[in-house]
Amino acid sequence: MAALGLMLLPALLWLSHAHASDPCSPVDPSLIPRLDSPMSATDPVAYKARIDLLRGEVDALRCPGPNPVPALFRTFLRSRYGSPDTAIAGPLSPLPEDPDLFEAALEALLAQPEERLRQGAREGLGTGMAALVWSRMRHDWVRPAAAGLSTEDRRWVEHWSPPPSSPGSLEQLLGMLDVDPHRTLRAMTTEGGSLLHEVVAPLQDGLLAAILADAQQRPAVVRALAGVAVDSGMGQAHTKVALTALDGLDADTTSAVDQAASKLGSPAPWRALQYPAVLPGQMPGLDALEDPTVDQADVVLRPSTSVFQTSTGLARLLGGLAMVGVAGVVGARLRRWRPLAGMSVAVGLLALTDGAAAMLGAPTGASSLPLFSFIAQSEVVARDLPGAADQVWLGGGSMRLTVVHKVPQAGIMRVAVLGASTVHGSHYVADDAFVAQLDRSLPGVEVHNLGIGGATSAGVASAGRAALDLGADLLVIAYGHNEAAQFTRLALYNHTSPAWLSARLWLSQSPLYTALARRLRSQASTAPPADLYRSAPPTREEVRQLIDLAVLHFQHQVGGLIAEAQARGAAVVLVIPPTNLRFAHLQPFTTPGPGDAADLDRLRAEAEAAARRGDGALAGQLLQEAVDRSASPRELVTPIRDEIIRLGGIYGVPVVDAQAWFSAFAPDGLSPSGLFWDDVHPSRAGHARMAEVLLPVLEQELDR
């Protein structure tokens, strides 16, 4: 017996030591209220504290104590699907749309035991998601539609809430979480397929059907909702059933309901929610190669010399001087031309003054006055960090929260990476984005992520100037996708003449115009016009003009930023962003001709045939041609790609072709499965490849 005790002693001692050193202690009760508390995107201290809470307390949240699952689900929903309605209070108050909040919340949920997930999913996800989706629907569509109704009807709309039972698709998701919580959560992440996106559309349809049924005795509300069902595109199978079930209505309401039901047609029933058979952005059998088919140096264009560029300010200054001089001579010698000479002198003095102001650094509206206020632009401003006199903060939400010292620390170089969602690391936590990987790989260098999701080059240029003001030694500009995508969207709106927008673009370079525009802008309403949307589809000529305007805008913004960076002694690297061409969203023109459905289908078929023959280069060219011909390209178009290369040659800066680098990992030369999660955004593995191709270039530029 004693011998048995001696034999068991080491095991008992090990168990005792493991128990004593177990870091798991009961969950701090304050953690859950801290997760549920409101937070302002303009409070950087609270913002950073919330991110740190999600990152730092994952292990603690697994320990015994109150179940944190409902609060973690609410954090995910509030950041990913939260309403812009700031009047919402309590645990469903909005949070900034930031993957460091919503994707981090999913990762914390994945660390939870399955039983806790089953217990907390319905409380956190069931009621929370329906309420948040409804609040956004009400804010975006129902409230504006009800604006002309009686006070009583508007109050009814404001106080209506979703039914306690979860609508169809959400109930299916809750059932999947109950059966296999971890598999379902993984399918809700960006890498796993973003399953939750497939819940939202049926949920919107079900909520619209529910409020229609409850509004039966309020004919004015029913008429408003019938319009929303058609105009918003949210009305589908559930709404059609609800409309046809309404009875006992007056003649006007019956007519409105019948028209809406007719316009909805016969929508197909929603299919049952399923785990994705193939992950987004992937082609079975075409997994990315381990090693590229080209060397890294082969995808870097290095112009040997730069071409001298005259600044627009200097050009106006010289032009103004010349005009004043010539007009003065003409007026002095030719009496009959003096009135015209006088006007010419006035115009010349204006040009001279404007050019001098630009040369002296007077602000212009090039990156801060948007061409179109109803599509988001971004003006990036560094603000003092509360409690830290030597630090500033930028971003939050569509731009990563970034805290930097006002003056770079001794011996530390500073790099700013600029762009849109590809740089931002759309749907990934900051540590997964290629910018953070570069930061970890470059000792003695700060690499900051100043990517702005959804921005045009105006936002990119604004972020770049903020970085230069903070002493950046190198700017990496990895941008191009959004320019044509945002500009061609203008064809959907009234009040967006390409000629007028082009004139405004040129005027935005003027300090005098900027000062006047800012003054008028502060007195004008920011609300979009009531007739913002147009019913006629875009024509090919309109789209061509808007793409030309996009190129001109890109040239002004990115070219101007490069010139300013070089004037301040900062290096620049340009990057052609990658595109998953096989998954391009090709929107056809509705009239016969290039870019119609038949033409785009033909190009796709020819591209697939070329890929099967092993000619990936031709397949890529054909799909790129389809993107260029489409009515509203989301991806990089050839004119923007050409402009990136042209600017590299003009200013003598290296251009990294990330599209060619990604294609070098494709077995068929076209689709490197696993490096994208959709048509334009890199996956976690894709971000690693981006860091890999950029690292040697940055090292070389920083050593100069």
Q: Please, what is the average pLDDT of the chain? A: 83
Q: pLDDT grade, residue 280 (50/70/90)?
A: confident
Residue-wise pLDDT tens digits, 534-576: 667 788 999 999 999 999 989 989 999 999 999 999 999 999 9
Q: What is the pLDDT of residue 9?
A: 40
| pLDDT score of 334 | 55
CB half-sphere exposure, 87, CA atoms < 13 A: 6
Least reliable range by pLDDT among 175-179, 483-487, 623-627: 483-487
Tell me the sheet residues that pair with 402. 394
Query: Contact 227/146 with Cβ under 8 angstroms?
Result: no
CB contact burial 566-599 (16+ within 10 A = b; e otherwise): beeebbbbbbbbbbbbbbbebbbbeeeeebbeeb
The beta strand positions in 571-685, using DSSP E, are 571-576, 655-657
Q: Which pLDDT tens digit goes with each residue over 291-310?
A: 999 999 999 998 765 544 44
Domain residue limits, the chain:
26-112, 125-184+196-273, 588-630
Q: Are 682 and 676 in contact (CB under 8 A)?
A: yes
Q: Averaged over 638-648, what is the pLDDT?
A: 96
Rounded CA separation 665/580 (Å): 12
> Percent of the chain having pLDDT more than 70?
79
Whether 333 shows a pLDDT value over 70: the answer reads: no
User: Is the sign of the CA dihedral 636, 639, 640, 643 positive or negative?
Assistant: positive
The mean pLDDT value for 256-278 works out to 89
The Cα–Cα gap between 51 and 430 comes to 10
Q: How confident is the model at residue 231 (pLDDT cuts 50, 70, 90)?
A: confident
Report whether pLDDT(337) > 90. no
Per-residue pLDDT at 528 exceeds 50: no
Contact 358, 364 (CB under 8 A): yes
Q: Which of 161, 126, 128 is nearest to 142 (CA)?
A: 161
Q: What digits encode the pLDDT tens for the residues 457-485?
A: 988 999 999 999 999 999 999 999 999 98
Can you give the pLDDT at residue 56? 78
Report the percentage of the chain scoring pLDDT > 90: 46
- Give the pLDDT confidence score for residue 284 in this predicted structure: 76
Query: What average pLDDT score do residues 667-689 get?
Result: 91
* Mean predicted confidence (pLDDT) in 3-30: 49
| Of residues 25 and 114, more confidently modeled | 114
Residue 517 binned pLDDT confidence (cut-offs 50, 70, 90): low
Q: Are 671 and 286 in contact (CB under 8 A)?
A: yes
Residue 330 in this model has a pLDDT that exceeds 90: no
- Residues 673, 288: contact at Cβ < 8 Å? yes
pLDDT score for 326: 59
More confident residue, 165 or 542: 542
Q: List 673's β-bridge partners, or say none.
A: 287
Buried b (16+ CB within 10 A) or exposed e, 483-503: bbbbbbbbbebeebebeebbe
**Angle subtended at Cα 622 by Cα 616 and Cα 628, rounded to the nearest 5 degrees:** 135
Tell me how far apart the alpha carbons of residues 402 and 388 are, in angstroms, rounded to a whole number.
Answer: 14
Q: DSSP secondary-structure letter at 449? A: E
Q: Residue 335's pLDDT band (boundaries 50, 70, 90)?
A: low
The angle at the Cα of 515, spanning 512 to 521, to the nearest 5 degrees, equals 135
Quote the pLDDT of residue 460.
93
Q: Provide CB contacts within 8 A for 162, sequence distance 6+.
A: 130, 131, 134, 207, 210
Under DSSP, the state recorded for 196 is T
pLDDT of residue 52: 87
Beta bridge partners of 447: 415
Per-residue pLDDT band for 327 (boundaries 50, 70, 90) equals low
Task: For residue 95, count other CB atoms closer than 10 A to its CB.
Answer: 24
Instruction: State the pLDDT confidence band at 57, using cuts at 50, 70 and 90.
Output: confident
Is the pLDDT confidence value at 489 over 90?
no
Least confident window among 60-64, 77-81, 255-259: 60-64
The pair of three-digit structure tokens given for residue 161, joined into one six-digit string: 């809430």
pLDDT average, residue stretch 160-175: 84
Q: Quick one: pLDDT at residue 70?
A: 93
User: For position 345, what pLDDT does the model report?
Assistant: 58
**More confident site: 377 or 207:** 207
* Predicted pLDDT of residue 89: 72
The answer on pLDDT for 11 being more than 50 is no
The pLDDT score that the predictor gives to residue 153 is 94
Summarised one tens digit per residue, pLDDT across range 404-452 is 999 988 889 999 999 999 999 988 989 999 999 999 999 999 999 999 9
